[in-house]
A and B are shown apart, each in its own frame.
Chain A
Amino acid sequence: MCGVCGCGEGPIHSHDEPHDHEHAHDHSHDHGHHHHEHSAEHSHAPGLTQARMVQIEQDILAKNNRYADENRRYFSERGMLALNLVSSPGSGKTTLLTETILRLKDELSIAVIEGDQQTARDADRIRATGVPALQINTGKGCHLDAHRVGHGLESLNLPEHSLLFIENVGNLVCPSAFDLGEAHKVVILSVTEGEDKPIKYPDMFHAADLMILNKTDLLPYLDFDSAQCISYAKQVNPRIKVLSLSAKTGEGMENWLIWLRAEMALQRIAYA
């Protein structure tokens, strides 16, 4: 039974489409029925057509936002830190995660939700480090939504004070709009991508609290202008914090680990 949406399905039922719910089926039946009646009415008595206005005034993503609030409550009740990692494909999210896990797994309980359109390769890479990982394949979908993450939480059943990384689908566009209930979005940009990414995809850099500039080991071979890139990011989001590192060589990793430990500590505060 779905504790998140009450949709009546098992803990990890897979929705092909986010709206593929039992209620959606109800609707389409109902609608077909009414619609039929109505069009009959039309042809026989056109004067009876009752066009009217219906006020909605709802955020298009209201439903996702409600699930995100549920997830956020779940995290805060358990003192968990959830981070939503977003980037273009290949910027090094999974590598950063495996390298981070190897350095922190003895001191923290860690788990990963992997979002990819296809395959369980990234979840396998995470499991090889010895921590639990759940793969969510989005199929055609280009982002994770809060509902599916909520189901992921049910099946992972993590201990209190866990650190949960959510690796989103590689895409700098729509994951910015879908709140998953995370404490922070962390955007990863690799130095092979070009310094103007922050102004080409401003929504993502606006939504993120931390930007990680990865693959700094490659800087000597490129003409990537780090200072310009960071300045673009701050132009879009004056509050964004930036860390430069190489997940491959480990250079700069220490700052990232300090940030993670500090954020973990903040989750232990019980605010009134």
Chain B
Amino acid sequence: MHEMSLCESVLQIIEQQAKAQQFAKVKTVWLEIGALSGVEPEAMHFSFEVVMQGSLAEQAKLEIIEVPGLAWCLPCSCEVLVQQLYDECPHCGSHQLQIVGGDQMRIKELEVE
């Protein structure tokens, strides 16, 4: 469900760019998806296919660049890698973590013609 509406937003951006940058067909779409963004890459691939049907990106290949989750641990004053929003600091076990990266969902670039 969630991935469906995200793919609809991706299509909107592509359609907007098609006009601005003069292209008619999209061959590849690169998305940058953070591990903490709540987006399931597998569900994203499935929705992408469904949503792009009948659009200028119908034949497009979806490439997902997965970005690891990064948090700032307050007690340790250092950056740590996290897999989940509820992870604890691997050094000190604290949950006083501030997410500093890996929560993005961005459309990075397109291969078009």
Contacts and interface: CB of A to CB of B under 8 A. Distances in A.
Given A53-B111, A173-B2, A236-B86, A31 B105 contact: no
Interface residues of B, number: 42
A28 B12 CA distance: 11
Given A59-B105, A63-B9, A236-B86, A51 B111 contact: yes
Given A142-B5, A143-B5, A238 B95 contact: yes
B97 A238 contact: yes
B5 A27 contact: no
A52 B112 CA distance: 5
A58 B18 contact: no
A13 interface: no
B15 interface: yes
A174 B5 contact: yes
B2 to A, nearest CB: 4
Interface SS majority for chain B: mixed
Given A27-B15, A35-B56, A238-B95, A60 B27 contact: no
A52 B86 CA distance: 41
Contacts of B109: 53-57
A270 interface: no
B86 A18 contact: no
A119 interface: no
A53 B108 CA distance: 10
B61 interface: no
Contact of B105 (A17, A60, A171): A60
A199 B86 contact: yes
Contacts of A100: none
Given A30-B19, A53-B109, A142-B1, A236 B8 contact: no
Contacts of B1: 142, 171, 173-174
Given A24-B15, A143-B5, A199-B86, A31 B95 contact: no
Q: How large is the interface on A (under 10, 10 to 19, 20 to 34, 35 or more residues)?
A: 35 or more
A38 interface: yes
Contact of B108 (A23, A26, A57): A57
Contact of A63 (B12, B85, B86, B111): B12
A75 interface: no
A71 interface: no
A62 interface: yes
Interface string A23-44: 1101110110011011000000
A31 B56 contact: yes
A60 B86 CA distance: 24
A60 B113 contact: no
Interface in B1-50: 1-2, 5-6, 8-13, 15-19, 21, 23-25, 27, 31, 38
A18 B55 CA distance: 16
Contacts of B5: 18, 141-143, 174
25 contacts: A19-B8, A26-B19, A27-B15, A31-B24, A34-B24, A38-B113, A51-B111, A51-B113, A52-B111, A52-B112, A52-B113, A54-B109, A54-B112, A56-B107, A56-B110, A58-B107, A64-B9, A174-B1, A198-B86, A235-B86, A235-B88, A235-B95, A236-B85, A236-B86, A238-B95
Which 5 pairs of residues, A with B, have the shortest CB-CB distance? A34-B24, A202-B85, A203-B38, A174-B2, A27-B15
Interface of B: 1-2, 5-6, 8-13, 15-19, 21, 23-25, 27, 31, 38, 55-56, 84-86, 88, 95-97, 99, 104-113
